[in-house]
C-alpha cells in the first residue's frame, strides 16, 4: 500500500475519531481494508455524486465508490427516493414481497444466463450459495479457482499463490491461505491454476473432472488490476466445462451491470451455468443475486439450502429496481465508459510526455493503471512487477483530493456522476502527482524499492 501523504489535508478530526474508534472496534473500523494506519485512516462525513467529504471537511473525487457499488454516484436522488418509499413496506417478515419478482424479472431481461434468480445480501454470500448449489447439483465436492481471483471472505476462496514461490513460472506455486483462521483441510478441495491459461485448466479437468463440481472464475480480476480474461481464454473455459461435465460459475460481483447491461457475459458472448452479481445492482444498497440455468437453480429448496434473515429486504429491492431501470433504459453505462476512456487518454498524454512506460488493464469503467509498457495478463505478472511508482503517486493523489485505491491491485471505478469538471480536476492533479513522484523517486526516498527502469528524473 502507498504511503499516504498529509501535507495538503487537515486530519485532526479523522485522527481524533480513530483514537476513539479503536477503543471499541478492532483497528477502529468494520473492515480490515478500511484501516490505512493510525494517522491516515479516513472517516466519511457524507457523499454526493462523484465526491465525498471526510470528518475534517476534505473533499475527494471518488474513484473507489465502495469498491464499485455506487455506479450512479453517491446518494442518487431517484434511487434513494425509491428506497425511502419502500420503508413503508417494512423491514423483514420471513416472508416474500412483491418486488422480489419485479427485480428478478429485470435481472432475467438483462442477463441472458438467468433462467431463475435467488437473492442474497452480499457478494460473498452469493458466491458461497453458488458454490453450494454447484456441489448439490453435481454431487461433487471439489472446485477450481484462478490465481489473482477474489470471490469474497470465506474459507473456500481465501487462498493465494505464494509470492515467494512464483518466480519460476514453469512450476505451480504453493497455495497458501489468505490470513489466519482458515482450515488447512479446505486446501484438499480445490485446484488453483494461472489466469488466462486454458491448457493448465484442461490438465486439471482431464485428470480430476469426476470430483470437480465447478470452475469459479472472475471474467475480469476485480482485485488484481482489473486484468481481463482474454476472449479466447474465457470461451475455452466455457467449452472445457461443457466437455468435462463441470459447471461454470461466473463471478460477476464487480462486473455485473457495470461493464455492460448484460455484464461480462454479454461482452464475451458466453453464458454461465451459474453466476453472481452484487455491487452495481442497487447503487450501494446491500443486495446480491445468484442466477443460472433453470434445471440447476431448481435445486434450491429441493436438496440445497439457501436463505437469510435479511435477504431481499424491501428497501434494497426498491433501490435495485430503480438502479437497474436506469442502467437498462439510459446511456449511463456508455457515459461511464466514455469518461473512463477520456481519463485514460489524459493520463496517457501526461505519462507519454515524460517518457514513463505504462499501460491500462480491464474495462474503461473499472480499469487498472500499470507502470509497464505491457499490461499484465496474470496475477504473477502483477505480483512480480515493481509497483513503487503507483504506490507513491497514489499517496499524493489522495492528499490532493483524488480518492483512488492506494493498493495498485484495485481498479479505478467510474460512476455516471463523474463529469467534465471531475475529469479536468483529476487530470490536473494527476499530472502534478506524477511530477512529485518522479521527484521523490529520483531522490531515492522510496524506502523499499529501487527506481523503476525507464524512469529518469
SS3 assignment, position 175 = strand
- Is there a contact between 156 and 128 (Cβ–Cβ < 8 Å)? yes
Q: Tens-of-pLDDT digits for all 457 residues of the chain?
A: 567 888 899 999 999 999 999 999 999 999 999 999 999 999 999 999 999 999 999 999 999 999 999 999 999 999 999 999 999 999 999 999 999 999 999 999 999 899 999 999 999 999 999 999 999 999 999 999 999 999 999 999 999 998 888 777 677 889 999 999 999 999 999 999 999 999 999 999 999 999 999 999 999 999 998 999 999 999 999 999 999 999 999 999 999 999 999 999 999 999 999 999 999 999 999 999 999 999 999 999 999 999 999 999 999 999 999 999 999 999 999 999 999 999 999 999 999 999 999 999 999 999 999 999 999 999 988 888 888 999 999 999 999 999 999 988 889 999 999 999 999 999 999 999 999 999 999 987 544 443 333 333 2
Q: Looking at residue 449, what is its pLDDT?
A: 44
Instruction: Find the helix or strand (DSSP H, E) in which 290 lies.
Output: strand 288-292
CA dist., res. 130 & res. 52, Å (int): 34
The phi, psi pair for 44, rounded to 5°, reads -85, 135
The pTM (predicted TM-score) of the whole model is 0.95
Topology adopted by domain 12-74+331-442: 3.90.1150
SS3 assignment, position 392 = helix
Q: How far is CA 118 from the centre of its chain?
A: 21
SS3 assignment, position 247 = strand
- Is there a contact between 28 and 40 (Cβ–Cβ < 8 Å)? no
SS3 assignment, position 152 = coil
SS3 assignment, position 433 = helix
CA dist., res. 391 & res. 445, Å (int): 13
pLDDT in tens, 91-130: 999 999 999 999 999 999 999 899 999 999 999 999 999 9
CA dist., res. 406 & res. 229, Å (int): 24
Q: Looking at residue 6, what is its pLDDT?
A: 85
CA-based nearest residue to 288, from 442, 14, 103, 447? 103
Cα angle at 89 between 84 and 93, to 5 degrees? 130
Other C-beta atoms lying within 10 Å of the C-beta of residue 361:
22
Sequence ranges of the chain with CATH classification 3.40.640.10? 77-329
Sequence ranges of the chain with CATH classification 3.90.1150.10? 12-74+331-442
Going across the sheet that includes 359-363, the strands are: 359-363, 366-370, 412-413
Give the chain's length: 457
CA dist., res. 377 & res. 229, Å (int): 8
The phi, psi pair for 394, rounded to 5°, reads -60, -40
Contacts of 411 (CB under 8 A, 6+ apart): 222, 225, 226, 361, 362, 366, 367, 368, 405
Q: Looking at residue 169, what is its pLDDT?
A: 67
- Is there a contact between 145 and 192 (Cβ–Cβ < 8 Å)? yes
Q: CATH assignment of 77-329, given 3.40.50.1970, 3.20.20.370, 3.20.20.70, 3.40.640.10?
A: 3.40.640.10
Beta bridge partners of 370: 359
CA dist., res. 135 & res. 156, Å (int): 13
Instruction: Find the helix or strand (DSSP H, E) in which 214 lies.
Output: strand 212-217
CA dist., res. 359 & res. 361, Å (int): 7
Amino acid at each position: 500500500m502507498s504511503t499516504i501523504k498529509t501535507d495538503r489535508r487537515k486530519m485532526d478530526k479523522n485522527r481524533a475519531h480513530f483514537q476513539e474508534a479503536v477503543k471499541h472496534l478492532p483497528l477502529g473500523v468494520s473492515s480490515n481494508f478500511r484501516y490505512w494506519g493510525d494517522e491516515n485512516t479516513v472517516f466519511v462525513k457524507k457523499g454526493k455524486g462523484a465526491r465525498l467529504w471526510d470528518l475534517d471537511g476534505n473533499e475527494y473525487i471518488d474513484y473507489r465508490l465502495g469498491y464499485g457499488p455506487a455506479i450512479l454516484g453517491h446518494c442518487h436522488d431517484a434511487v434513494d427516493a425509491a428506497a425511502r418509499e419502500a420503508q413503508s413496506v417494512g423491514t423483514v417478515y420471513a416472508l416474500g414481497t412483491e418486488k422480489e419478482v419485479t427485480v428478478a424479472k429485470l435481472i432475467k431481461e438483462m442477463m441472458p444466463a438467468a433462467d431463475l434468480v435467488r437473492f442474497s445480501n452480499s457478494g460473498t454470500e452469493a458466491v458461497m450459495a453458488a458454490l453450494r448449489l454447484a456441489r448439490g447439483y453435481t454431487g461433487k465436492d471439489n472446485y477450481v479457482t484462478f490465481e489473482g481471483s477474489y470471490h469474497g471472505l470465506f474459507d473456500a476462496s481465501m487462498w493465494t499463490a505464494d509470492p515467494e514461490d512464483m518466480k519460476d513460472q514453469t512450476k505451480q506455486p504453493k497455495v497458501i491461505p489468505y490470513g489466519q483462521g482458515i482450515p488447512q483441510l479446505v486446501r484438499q478441495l480445490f485446484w488453483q491454476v494461472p489466469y488466462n491459461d486454458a491448457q493448465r485448466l484442461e490438465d486439471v479437468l482431464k485428470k480430476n473432472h469426476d470430483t470437480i463440481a465447478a470452475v469459479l472464475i472472475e471474467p475480469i480480476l476485480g482485485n488484481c488490476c482489473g486484468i481481463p480474461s482474454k476472449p479466447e481464454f474465457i470461451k475455452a473455459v466455457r467449452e472445457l466445462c461443457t466437455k468435462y461435465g463441470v459447471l461454470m460459475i461466473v463471478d460477476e460481483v464487480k462486473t455485473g451491470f457495470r461493464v455492460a447491461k448484460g455484464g461480462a457475459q454479454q461482452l464475451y458472448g458466453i453464458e454461465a451455468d451459474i453466476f453472481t452479481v452484487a455491487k452495481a445492482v442497487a447503487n450501494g444498497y446491500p443486495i446480491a443475486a445468484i442466477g443460472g440455468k433453470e434445471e440447476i437453480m431448481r435445486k434450491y429448496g429441493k436438496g440445497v439450502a439457501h436463505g437469510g434473515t435479511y435477504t431481499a429486504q424491501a428497501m434494497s429491492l426498491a433501490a435495485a429496481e430503480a438502479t437497474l431501470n436506469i442502467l437498462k433504459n439510459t446511456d449511463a453505462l456508455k457515459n461511464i465508459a466514455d469518461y473512463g476512456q477520456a481519463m485514460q487518454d489524459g493520463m496517457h498524454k501526461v505519462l507519454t510526455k515524460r517518457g514513463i512506460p505504462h499501460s491500462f488493464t480491464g474495462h474503461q469503467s473499472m480499469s487498472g493503471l500499470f507502470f509497464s509498457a505491457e499490461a499484465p495478463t496474470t496475477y504473477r505478472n502483477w505480483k512480480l512487477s515493481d509497483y513503487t511508482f503507483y504506490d507513491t503517486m497514489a499517496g499524493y493523489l489522495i492528499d490532493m483530493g483524488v480518492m483512488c485505491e492506494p493498493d495498485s491491485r484495485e481498479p479505478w471505478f467510474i460512476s455516471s456522476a463523474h463529469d467534465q469538471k471531475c475529469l479536468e480536476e483529476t487530470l490536473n492533479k494527476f499530472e502534478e502527482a506524477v511530477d512529485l513522484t518522479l521527484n521523490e523517486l529520483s531522490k531515492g526516498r522510496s524506502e523499499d524499492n529501487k527506481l523503476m527502469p525507464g524512469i529518469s528524473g
